[in-house]
Amino acid sequence: MFPKGFLFDFDGVVVDSFESHYSAWSSAFQEMFDQEIAAYPKSYIGKSPRKIAAYFCSLIGEENRSEELFFLKDKHLDVYFKVPNLLPGALEITEFLKENKIPYGVASNATKLFLKNSIQHLNLNFTTVFGVEDYKKPKPAPEAYITLAKALGFTEKDFKNLWVFEDSLTGTKAAKLAGMIPIGILAKNSEKEMKKAGSKLIFPSLLEAFHYLNKKI
């Protein structure tokens, strides 16, 4: 059966935003603590910004200032906004879904402001977008994708027919817990890692997913 709808993670699926985020973490950390930030750990890819802030603060014994770092990083992300790099297939697949009147949207652990700025600067075809502020429990909890699916008009009985494009193990777990179909995008993890996390299909990028879907409809 052709999927009823398509849910997208953002970072690593639609855009490569590592430099945008890490630059903001680095400048915010430098402003707060007057020292360079540590390297970004692979195990934190896809996690909520609050958990990432807590991680960086814990490395220097400043756990009690993690919320302060979280807000300052968000400010730097906006004031010193760096447009992320658009990944292959994002425009093609969203145009395809729009033309065929298939519901789709974004649910990300990134902040809403970053998502909206990126979508505007890159002229992307996303109108239904949820960021980390929209959930009580960010990914790997399933709330993000359940929230998006309901906003697109789906009920729980539809969830088993929804595709979720994810590049992170964190997000793949969220999609699986929501009862949806995780589809892996190979941005930072291996095919073996993504399949082990629950991905039912794997594509190098959204471009290959677009070609696959275009043949199926």
Question: For residue 189, what pLDDT is reported?
Answer: 92
Q: Which residue has the higher pLDDT, 74 or 175?
A: 175
- Categorize the per-residue pLDDT at 16 as very low, low, confident or very high, splitting at 50, 70 and 90: very high
How many CB atoms lie under 10 A from the CB of residue 88? 13
Q: For the segment 43-67, what is each residue's pLDDT rounded down to a tens digit?
A: 888 888 999 999 999 999 999 999 9
Question: For residue 46, what pLDDT is reported?
Answer: 80
- CB-count burial class (<10 Å; 0-12, 13-18, 19+) for 189: buried
- Using CA atoms, how far apart are residues 39 and 42, in angstroms rounded to an integer? 9
Question: For residue 184, what pLDDT is reported?
Answer: 98
Enumerate residues 6+ apart whose C-beta is below 8 A from 49. 70, 73, 74, 109, 110, 111, 132
Q: pTM, whole model, 2 decimals?
A: 0.88
- Categorize the per-residue pLDDT at 5 as very low, low, confident or very high, splitting at 50, 70 and 90: very high
- Using CA atoms, how far apart are residues 192 and 179, in angstroms rounded to an integer? 21
Q: For the segment 71-118, what is each residue's pLDDT rounded down to a tens digit?
A: 999 999 989 888 999 999 999 999 999 999 999 999 999 999 999 999
- Using CA atoms, how far apart are residues 93 and 77, in angstroms rounded to an integer? 27
- Categorize the per-residue pLDDT at 215 as very low, low, confident or very high, splitting at 50, 70 and 90: very high
> What rounded mean pLDDT belongs to the chain?
95
3-state secondary structure of 155: coil
Question: For residue 42, what pLDDT is reported?
Answer: 83
Question: For residue 43, what pLDDT is reported?
Answer: 86
Instruction: Please say whether the beta carbons of 165 and 6 come within 8 A.
Output: yes
Identity of residue 192: K
